[in-house]
Homo-oligomer: A and B are copies of this chain.
């Protein structure tokens, strides 16, 4: 897979999942990696940025299988942004597909 495809789209993937329920960082990596490549070195800085931009907020929760998990919960602001981002993605990918199949 072209690693450059991920650029900018991973943010949307993370937000799209967090719009459905709370996740902790490691869980996001595991879930997303079933669909596209992602590494921990990508997700943690991304989550920090999303927190700074107030799209999500965090809380800690104990775990029986390791250190405490940092969960991410989406804000109302984040939900709105996510919906716009997904709409942009749909438009974008539709346009790219048109361009690829263009008769020139």
Query: CB within 8 Å of B: which residues of A?
Result: 1-9, 11-13, 16-17, 20-21, 31-32, 35-36, 85-86, 88-89, 91-93, 95-100, 102-104
Chain A interface, >50% SS class = helix
Give min CB distance, A8 to chain B, whole Å: 2
- Chain B residue nearest in CB terms to A32: B99
- What number of copies of this chain does the assembly contain? 2
Residues of B within 8 A of A36 (CB): 92, 95-96, 99
A5 to B93, CA, bound (A): 9
Residue contact A21 to B99, C-beta cutoff 8 Å: no
Instruction: Offer 10 A-B interface pairs, CB within 8 angstroms, sorted by A.
Output: A4-B7, A4-B9, A5-B8, A9-B96, A16-B99, A17-B102, A32-B99, A35-B95, A35-B96, A89-B96
